[in-house]
Amino acid sequence: MKLVTAVIKPFKLDEVKAALESFGVKGLTVSEASGYGRQKGHTEVYRGAEYQVDLVPKLRIEVLVDADDADDIIDVIVKAARTNKIGDGKVWAVPVDTVVRVRTGETGPEAL
């Protein structure tokens, strides 16, 4: 099993969710995140004063998948989240050794 994690622009969430659901993903976790990459934040004007926004708001999506599906899931997320502009985000996968469904006690692939 693998944990696929994506950091994306917030307005792309609905598209990414729809793409994952059409692929067959049954569950995911979404949390708010902030950070910066190559864009190093941006400047904004508020009440006539310009200020630097160092940490850009993002969403972090986590999906637990079978190892055989991880590359396909990454492709689905990348295609749905892409705007072809700086700050689109990142997607990565890490191996998962143990998974337990709390309600039933199922482990391994059955817990997905």
Instruction: Taking residues 28-41, report their average pLDDT.
Output: 84
The mean predicted confidence, pLDDT, of the chain is 91
> In 3-state terms, the chain is what percent helix, strand and coil (to 5)?
30, 40, 30
Structure confidence by residue, pLDDT tens digits, 90-112: 999 999 999 999 999 999 888 88
50 confidence band (pLDDT: 50, 70, 90)? confident
Instruction: Taking residues 52-75, report their average pLDDT.
Output: 92
* Residue 33, burial from CB neighbour count under 10 angstroms (0-12, 13-18, 19+): middle
Residue with more model confidence, 96 or 34: 96
**How is residue 61 written in tokens?**
């999506």
35 confidence band (pLDDT: 50, 70, 90)? confident
Give this prediction's pTM: 0.85
